[in-house]
Amino acid sequence: TQLLEQSPQFLSIQEGENLTVYCNSSSVFSSLQWYRQEPGEGPVLLVTVVTGGEVKKLKRLTFQFGDARKDSSLHITAAQPGDTGLYLCAGAEGAGKSTFGDGTTLTVKP
């Protein structure tokens, strides 16, 4: 079973600050997904990255896939209270199965 270490586990910041969440593994993934989950709801897909070194932007969110496809980062610029939630990374192992990180609980205070 592949492992995916996600950090930090908890993050509490003020509105307007920047932050970065990391996912690291010793294993290579064919693709990697980032999700955001709000309490009582299912995870919502933010992005899928496939190519090593790939960078994708979604408004104030920037996602990067490591060159070796073993790690990824999520950077949020000028965080807003609406960004509050549980962020999950998932590395695709093949055959549809994925390894999930332990999650980062982000709280953005107004």
Partner 1 sequence: GAVVSQHPSWVICKSGTSVKIECRSLDFQATTMFWYRQFPKQSLMLMATSNEGSKATYEQGVEKDKFLINHASLTLSTLTVTSAHPEDSSFYICSAVGTSGTDTQYFGPGTRLTVL
CB contact at 8 A, 47 and 33: yes
Q: The tokens 């899928």 sit on which residue?
A: 48
Contact flag: residue 100 with partner 1 (CB under 8 A)? yes
Shorter beta-carbon distance to partner 1: residue 8 or 16: 8
- Of 35, 66, 76, 106, the residue at the interface with partner 1 (CB under 8 A) is 35
Contact flag: residue 45 with partner 1 (CB under 8 A)? yes
Instruction: Please tell me whether residue 45 adopts helix, strand or coil conformation.
Output: strand
CB contact at 8 A, 22 and 76: no
Contact flag: residue 88 with partner 1 (CB under 8 A)? yes
Contact flag: residue 22 with partner 1 (CB under 8 A)? no
